[in-house]
Amino acid sequence: MMVQMAKRGYTFFISLYVIMHFIVYFTGGEVLSTTLSLFGLAAFLLGYFFLPMKQAGISLLLLVIALIVHVSAGTSLIEGIISGFAVMSGLIAILLIVPTISWVLEEKPYIESVINFAQNLLNTSRKFYFGMMIITQIISYFLLFGSIPMVYGMINEFLNNQKGEVWENYKGTALLRAFSLTTMWVVSIPSFIFAVHALDASLALSILQGFIISFVGILLSVLFSYFQERHYGINLTAGIQEELANIAKDKKQDTKGHRDALEFGCLFVTLFGSIFLLNAIWDVELLLIIPIVIVGWVIVYFIVRRRSSAITENGKAYLEKTIPNKVQQFSILLAAGFLINAVNQSGYGEYIIDGLFYVTDAVPFLNFLWVLPFVVILLGFIGLGPLTVIVLVSGILQGVELPYPPEIIVLGITSGSVISIMLSPLILPSIILSSVNRLSIIKNSLLFNYKYAITFYVMVEIYLQLFVLFFL
């Protein structure tokens, strides 16, 4: 009973926190800002009434470090609480609202239609691998890391007669690498958009740069899959063509399926086109535009389909089940916001960055951009997810003058996030993949991807260092 009440209280306060975020942005006012922080603090404290101790560890660690920073620096703890628990309101608003996109995708078999529509283009192992990565990136726009189990389920159903480690390596590396690469350019990925916002980088340049590096990363992964196939000594193309022949025998692709695939394309264009259009004509932060567009887009979709009742049904289930399940993620972010604020108030952020520059200056041929991705990677290996790490790193860098364009810093941070997602066995994407393909987390992450990750790091660093050499 106590836990149930805590969950309801938590849902109430975190919802108020997000609503108040929009009110504060458009109206301002010190009293409202304080109220926003207090709602965040209330949700943070209520979360511990039902958050298992094992899941509470990271947020408590961040909280303790923030308190130590405040005490050692002699900064005001009250001021830190009032300003610190408001830092993450924009990011939590996005994380609360983006999953509502899945309500639309559940209405029709859109993903199956896209895969069926494209199946004739995917008739060799290289083309199929490339196709898996592209589809995963597109679905990541809508479902974030939820794209991994969804696409895996579709691909597994398609290749249901093909078993063994070689096939799991083939599917798993495509999905994990594809998702990790989205953190460099996909506008609905919260870590990417927070880094762009915090470092005041150009959205268009950051997306263009990230997209190009991501696409080269996909081609690199396709090349690696060729060598992996040769290593296993199995002809995967034969297995794929066998499944395509079975599908052709069992059923013909009907026009309805093509219509659903076309409808999915229209949904994709209207959602992300609206975000870019509004960002171009409305002088408002992107962290604010994205949730507003998503809410409007979801409502319009159900009104057009004359399924307005689905908004109420989905909304009720979301409030009762989904929001309480996000308590660990939101607790970590609230604690991270408190810590970022403490570090920036104390001035310790400058000392940390100065320390990194000192290390890079002491080693010949080394500069800050060589080290920056490793900060993200190392934090990923102690169990901090890519979102938390990017929030911490970009939040600290936000208050420091750096001799590089912000878009280059964004790429440095997000490239570390890509490698961290691929290699760390302690963060969610690898755990989710292991839960669906039944291989060990170490194998899915570190063992299957370390050679690719090293090559990817070198590739990104060549780009960054050439940019510094020729343009700075």
Neighbours of 45 (CB within 10 A): 15
As a whole number of angstroms, the distance between CA 273 and CA 167 comes to 36
Nearest Cα neighbor of 183 from 211, 164, 224, 146 is 211
pLDDT of residue 249: 60
C-alpha 359: how far from chain center: 30
- For tokens 């594809």, what's the residue? 178
Neighbours of 158 (CB within 10 A): 22
Mean confidence (pLDDT) of the chain = 87
Nearest Cα neighbor of 16 from 284, 336, 323, 317 is 323
C-alpha 306: how far from chain center: 32
Average pLDDT over residues 300-323: 91
User: Taking the CA of residue 208 as centre, how many other CA atoms within 13 Å lie in the half-sphere pointing to its CB?
Assistant: 6
pLDDT of residue 341: 87
As a whole number of angstroms, the distance between CA 427 and CA 430 comes to 6
Are the CB atoms for 80 and 345 separated by under 8 Å?
Answer: yes
Task: Supply 71's token pair.
Answer: 């005490």
405 phi/psi in degrees, rounded to 5: -60, 145
| Cβ neighbours of residue 2 closer than 8 Å, sequence gap 6 or more | 49
Residue type, 75: T
3-class SS letters over 245-299: HHHHHHCCCCHHHHHHHHHHHHHHHHHHHHHHHHHHHCCCCHHHHHHHHHHHHHH
Q: Which tens digits make up the pLDDT trace of 9-34?
A: 999 999 999 999 999 988 877 888 89
Of the pLDDT bands very low, low, confident and very high (cuts 50, 70, 90), residue 456 is: very high
Lowest-confidence pick of 77-91, 107-121, 162-176: 107-121
Nearest Cα neighbor of 419 from 392, 388, 458 is 458
Number of H helices and E strands in the chain, helices first, is 25, 0
As a whole number of angstroms, the distance between CA 30 and CA 24 comes to 9
As a whole number of angstroms, the distance between CA 328 and CA 320 comes to 16
pTM above 0.85, yes or no: no
As a whole number of angstroms, the distance between CA 59 and CA 330 comes to 9
Of these ranges, 47-61, 262-276, 328-342, 455-469, the one predicted with the greatest mean pLDDT is: 455-469
Percentage helix, strand, coil for the chain under 3-state DSSP, each rounded to 5? 85, 0, 15
Nearest Cα neighbor of 406 from 179, 272, 209, 215 is 209
Question: In a 3-state reduction of DSSP, which class is residue 355?
Answer: helix
pLDDT of residue 405: 93
Of the pLDDT bands very low, low, confident and very high (cuts 50, 70, 90), residue 385 is: confident
Average pLDDT over residues 109-131: 81
pLDDT of residue 311: 92
pLDDT at 413 over 90: yes
pLDDT of residue 247: 66
Task: Write 453-461 long-range contacts (CB < 8 A, 24+).
Answer: 453/419, 453/422, 453/423, 455/220, 455/224, 456/217, 456/220, 456/415, 456/418, 456/419, 457/373, 457/415, 457/419, 459/213, 459/216, 459/217, 459/220, 460/213, 460/373, 460/411, 460/415, 461/369, 461/370, 461/373
Neighbours of 382 (CB within 10 A): 11
pLDDT at 251 over 60: no
Q: Which tens digits make up the pLDDT trace of 253-308?
A: 555 657 888 888 899 899 888 988 998 888 888 788 889 999 999 999 999 998 88
Sign of CA dihedral 59, 62, 68, 72: negative
